[in-house]
Chains A and B, each alone.
Chain A
Amino acid sequence: MMSTIPKHLKYTKTHEWVDLQKDGTATIGITDHAQDLLGDVVFIDVPSVGKQVKAGGACAVVESVKAASDIYSPIAGDVIEANPALADQPELVNKDAYGTAWILRLMPANAADIDGLLDAAAYAAFIAADAH
């Protein structure tokens, strides 16, 4: 089954996406492919506001019925918001991984770090190769 990979986002090999906003903040979530692998999401352990995260550092935990999985921050920065909707509706991650189910917002330490991430085509190629 083909998963959705929006063109305007950047991606990691650990299946997170990041969206750089006009105000300089970055929104982070997990990909459609990731939610498909995880299955029904039932809880998301989000970081507290103000926490400093490193690029590649664990910044949240997504718990599906099957297992708990670390979410790694694509870039370094300070957490400025965690998605409050996920507390009562963790299943949004399965329904709208790129939209209402964003996980956290960061103030990037260096916005240019985003340029080093995978674009949609590279991420699509990565998951295609990963399946074999």
Chain B
Amino acid sequence: MAARKQRAAIAFFILRTDNTAMGHQTPLYNEHLALHGKLVDFAGWDMPIHYGSQVEEHHQVRNDAGMFDVSHMTIVDLRGTRVRAFLQHLIANNVDKLKPQQALYTCMLNEHGGVIDDLIVYFMDEQWFRVVVNAATREKDLAWINAHAAAFDAHGSASVAAGRTPEATGVSVTERPELAMIAVQGPHARERVAGVLTDTGQHALRDAALQLKPFYAAYSGDIFIGRTGYTGEDGFEVLLPGQAAVTLWRALLAKDVKPVGLGARDTLRLEAGMNLYGTDMDETISPLECGLEWTVAWEPKERAFIGRDALEKQKTQGVARKLVGLVLEDRGVLRNHQKVIVEGADTGEITSGSFSPTLGKAIALARVPAATGARVTVDIRGSLHPARVVKPPFVRNGRAVVAPVASDPPGTVGLGPAPGMGS
């Protein structure tokens, strides 16, 4: 029975239920245990999928404030005199757009235009850019970044080891595994973080954080605060040393910021229309095929970023597939890999499907033929159900925003989603 492959009996469903340690643990691991977090393996890390109810946690972020331990994500500092030139080559978006302290969402492509990873770049100063990449892609990302950085480091990649400061090199690549990361998200997230900074006497950092525009970052010593996120809500992502992260977590908990697991993080980002690497795109998919053309900086034409030639060829020839949003009209739940039937065209496939707690309906991101119109049919376990095609996001700042899909692709950055850090 083919449909059987889509699901399993309850007995086979959960990875672990006994909360015994198996993978890497973040500095907040004991906090998750104390809060009865249900731990699962995520990219080799023991992470909480929820602390009781994924749906309640989802609503908590949409309506008030929730916090996520995202310390498993990989933080990399790029320093040196040639960092800007290096990033202009390495990533598909252009760091020249950035003002100091501003962040940029971008794809890092291979020579074929396929997505190696999506990431956030913070421009802190002319010799320091901070990059946050996905945990699941850590090793290949670091290998790729290091390999390409070597060519930009005029003194050779051994220069730091030879005793020179990173700033004296062309490009140095330094992972920051000692830093934890807490995402505090929701309409009241920023004021709760500010309250903690007030209580601890960090007035200058508090004032700087409260003055941040969306997608900007500030720091003081080891504490780095970005007004970024992966939920479609306002909020901060705070990067800080492990012990300080435990203190911040407990202080936020005391201010009624509830812990939220990776389960709700996934439904929140899906409602916000944000892609998940490895699910909505991978190395075989270009930004043009996963709704991320708005992150590709085509100008200036002479900027030779990796994958540019392949992308330009694809754009000239026309893209056969596109990523759209779906809203299921019947009851039920859309799931990854369900077949999407498009009248008069090839079939498509759901890349991220789930139940939207905010809309009370099933929603999905799906890769479909470019000619797909306003309605499709989804094969759910062998029965066909109608779905409406929409332009993501589905929800932004707590409100449903789904509307019928526009016939024209988004032409500017402003029309696309404004994602933060993935998982």
Contacts and interface: CB of A to CB of B under 8 A. Distances in A.
A75 interface: no
Contacts of B4: 58, 70
A100 interface: no
B10 A34 contact: yes
A69 B263 contact: no
Contact of B7 (A15, A37, A67): A67
Contact of B54 (A1, A15, A37, A39): A39
A43 B36 CA distance: 26
Contacts, number: 79
B34 interface: no
A66 interface: yes
B355 interface: yes
Interface in B1-54: 1, 4, 6-11, 13-14, 17-18, 36, 49-50, 53-54
Nearest to B50: A39
Nearest to B361: A42
B315 to A, nearest CB: 37
A67 B49 CA distance: 13
Interface stretch (B63-71, B200-208, B243-251, B329-337): B329-337
A40 B17 contact: no
Contacts of A68: 6-7, 333, 335, 381
Residue in B8, B11, B335 whose Cβ sees the most chain A Cβ within 10 Å? B11
A122 interface: no
Given A42-B355, A43-B331, A69-B7, A61 B381 contact: yes
A61 B335 CA distance: 13
Interface string A54-89: 000010011101111111100000000000000100
Contacts of B267: 65
Interface residues of A, number: 30
Contact of B9 (A63, A72, A94, A130): A72
A124 to B, nearest CB: 15
B378 to A, nearest CB: 13
Contact of A40 (B7, B13, B18, B55): B55
Nearest to B335: A68
A87 B332 CA distance: 10
A43 B18 contact: no
A63 B333 contact: yes
A32 B11 CA distance: 13
Interface of B: 1, 4, 6-11, 13-14, 17-18, 36, 49-50, 53-55, 263, 267, 331-333, 335, 354-355, 357, 362, 381
7 contacts: A14-B11, A37-B17, A43-B332, A63-B332, A69-B10, A94-B53, A130-B11
